[in-house]
Each structure stands twice: as C-alpha cells, then as structure tokens.
Amino acid sequence: MLKLSKKAEYAFMATIYLASHSGNEYPTAKEIADNYKIPFQLVAKILQNLAKNNIVISFQGVKGGYKLNKNPDEISLIDIIKAVETNYKLTECMLEGGDTSNCTLVDCCKIRDPLVEIQRKIDIMFQETSLKQIL
C-alpha cells in the first residue's frame, strides 16, 4: 500500500545510471541490469517505455544503448513514473457507477474519497522533483 512499484524503482535506477554515465559509449540495458543486479528483461522493457515517452533516446544495433533525452534537472520524476506506470491516476475522481450528475467533482470526491486531496499532494511532489535531485 502506497509503495512505489518495481517498475518505477527500476526506471529511476536506470535513468540515474544514464545520468552518471554519459561517456562516449551508450550504456546498454544489460549493463544497467548487471550493475544493479536486477532482471535484464525487465529493465529492457522499462527502457523501451522511457524511450517511447522521449525521456531517453535509444540506439539500436551493435554499438547501441541509451542516453537521456534531456538534462537531469529538466526531467521530472512524474514523467518517469507516467512513462512506466500504466494506470497512474492519482487525482482522478474515483467514483465508478456513482451518481456523478450531482457531483461538483472536487467536493463530491472529498466526501466520498477523503484521500484525493492527499494523493494530489503526492502527485505534486513528484512533479516538483527532478531527476537531478535524486542523483
């Protein structure tokens, strides 16, 4: 409960690794997996997600690998999370099949789900923290 997923964790690790290894050669998924001793396939997939969302750039082929697409201080943690997490929806109204007609949204949610406000705060926290801050 309220725990960050491995996906997010690995995504942070990978981007942190890329941020601190910006040499001539591009770090590969395998290199990252080995370094942190985490499953290769999983990291690979996560990097693909990050690539799709323009957080990293991927290079295919023999000398391939990954590099960050922006500077670490320009990458918000929420970008990384959203790239990796399929159903990331903290702030959404949680009513399902509820009577939303007489629901002035925020107020309604506040009554039925007192946590929305808190989740919004967490959301903001991720938004306001950059990758650089956790290097």
Partner DNA sequence: TTAAATAAGACTTAAATGGTCGGACATAAC
Partner DNA sequence: GTTATGTCCGACCATTTAAGTCTTATTTAA
Q: Which is nearer to a copy of itself, 33 or 81 (CB)?
A: 81
Residue from 71, 115, 127, 132 touching a copy of itself (CB under 8 A): that is 115
Minimum separation from the CB atom of position 104 to DNA (A): 25
Element (H, E) at 52: helix 40-52
Q: Is residue 62 near DNA by the rule CB under 7 A?
A: yes
DSSP string, 79-108: HHHHHH-TT--SSS---SSS--TT--THHH
Task: Tell me the C-alpha distance between 50 and 36, whole Å.
Answer: 18
Q: Give the count of alpha carbons within 13 A of 27, CB side only.
A: 23
What token pair was written down for 59?
């290079």
CB of residue 60 to DNA, shortest distance in Å: 4
Name the amino acid, one letter, at 8: A
Q: Which does 44 bind (CB under 5 to 8 A by kind): DNA, a copy of itself, none?
A: DNA
Write each residue from 69 to 88 as x if it is in contact with a copy of itself (CB under 8 A), else as -, in one continuous string. --------x---x---x-xx
By a kind-dependent CB cut-off of 5 to 8 A, residue 59 interacts, out of a copy of itself, DNA, none, with DNA
- Contacts for 12 with CB less than 8 Å, ≥ 6 apart: 77, 80, 131, 134
Instruction: Tell me which residues touch DNA (CB under 7 A).
Output: 1, 3, 5-7, 28-30, 38-39, 41-42, 44-45, 47-48, 51-52, 58-66, 86-87
